[in-house]
């Protein structure tokens, strides 16, 4: 520990901060995907490697080093699509872009709320998840990928009862509808009203497992509800919904 | 100075409490791993120079 303090200077602190940011970004990218189990495996391997080195066990250290190299090649092959997506995202990301695009977000929310209002009036069931920080790729993979601009008409069309994608939920990321007909995890919270169906349970379930905001429109009553962090708020008007969503999604 | 105004406006928008508490454990684990990786690699480099 003392040797660590001795070699610390402004350059090393800068290096650690940059490393920290990169590792945190990788964690965020992997969170909510099946790759997180792989990450756990890598962490176990690294800890074992360090432990063997500290204990002075040269043969085990050497075997684990070989295994580690083999493992990394395996990872590159198995997770080639995820790695490709990550690199594409890295290229797209505006690293120094700090200001949230509030105006654009408001426009997106207006489209969502407008579609929810129509669904409510016509008593058409709807389930819409809006991604925040945590990745929803696991759920996107369970549905049909769309990657389309958000418009009120498109959302209504998706949930139209005889449409092929009306079952399941829609996932929204930024200003895009990423996927439709997605399967969300059901909540086993005993406090949810018995009268509420699977759609509401799915909304609460997703808001419990991810940090997403999930909108539900009841098929029977047309009531608009919103699930945030496992809490379901019911009987919202489109205006209330817009205000809450704006507050939730534009805060940093 | 326009850029000072931009920096001030940007600093006002930062919610420090939220920045620390949001994903706190993930941030902490990432920091610990960053320190371990840096310490390990810097040790390797120093040993390399000594040889």
Tokens, residue A16: 């650690």
Q: Which residues of B touch A12 (CB under 8 A)?
A: 38, 42
Is residue A161 within 8 Å of residue A123, measured between CB atoms? no
A4 touches chain B (CB under 8 A): yes
What are the tens digits of pLDDT across the range B15-50?
A: 777 777 777 888 888 888 888 888 878 876 666 544
Q: Taking CA atoms, what residue in A is nearest to B36?
A: A16
**What does pTM read for this prediction?**
0.55
pLDDT of A224 reads 94
**Minimum Cα–Cα distance from B20: chain A residue:** A252
Whether the ipTM is more than 0.85: the answer is: no
Domains of chain A, each with CATH number or no CATH: 2-92 (no CATH), 102-249 (3.40.1700.10)
Measured between beta carbons, the chain B residues lying within 8 angstroms of A252 are: 13-15, 18-19
Asked if the C-beta of A30 comes within 8 angstroms of chain B's C-beta atoms, the answer is no
Cβ within 8 Å, pair B30-A252: no
Which of these, A102, A29, A95, A96, lies nearest to A249 by C-alpha position? A102
pLDDT tens for A112-160 read 999 999 999 999 999 999 988 777 888 888 899 988 999 999 999 999 9
């Amino acid at each position: 520990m003392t040797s660590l303090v001795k070699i610390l200077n402004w350059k090393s602190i800068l290096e650690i901060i940059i490393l920290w940011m990169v590792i945190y970004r990788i964690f965020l990218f992997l969170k909510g995907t099946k790759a997180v189990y792989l990450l756990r495996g890598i962490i176990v391997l690294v800890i074992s490697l360090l432990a063997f080195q500290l204990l002075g066990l040269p043969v085990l250290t050497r075997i684990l080093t070989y295994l580690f190299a083999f493992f990394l090649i395996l990872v590159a092959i198995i997770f080639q699509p995820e790695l490709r997506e990550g690199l594409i995202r890295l290229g797209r990301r505006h690293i120094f872009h700090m200001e949230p695009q509030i105006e654009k977000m408001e426009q997106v929310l207006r489209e969502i709320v407008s579609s929810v209002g129509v669904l409510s009036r016509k008593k058409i069931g709807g389930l819409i998840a809006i991604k925040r920080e945590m990745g929803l790729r696991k759920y996107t993979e369970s549905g049909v990928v769309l990657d389309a601009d958000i418009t009120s008409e498109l959302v209504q069309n998706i949930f139209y009862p005889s449409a092929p994608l009306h079952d399941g939920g829609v996932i929204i990321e930024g200003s895009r509808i990423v996927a439709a007909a997605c399967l969300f995890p059901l909540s086993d919270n005993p406090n949810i009203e018995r009268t509420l169906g699977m759609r509401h349970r799915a909304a609460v379930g997703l808001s419990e497992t991810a940090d997403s905001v999930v909108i539900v429109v009841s098929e029977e009553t047309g009531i608009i509800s919103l699930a945030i962090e496992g809490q379901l708020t019911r009987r919202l008007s489109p205006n209330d919904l817009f205000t809450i969503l704006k507050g939730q999604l534009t805060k940093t | 100075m326009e850029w000072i105004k931009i920096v001030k406006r940007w600093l006002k928008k930062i919610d420090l409490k939220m920045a620390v508490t949001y994903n706190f454990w993930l941030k902490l684990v990432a920091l610990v791993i960053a320190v371990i990786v840096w310490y390990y690699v810097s040790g390797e480099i120093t040993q390399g120079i000594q040889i």
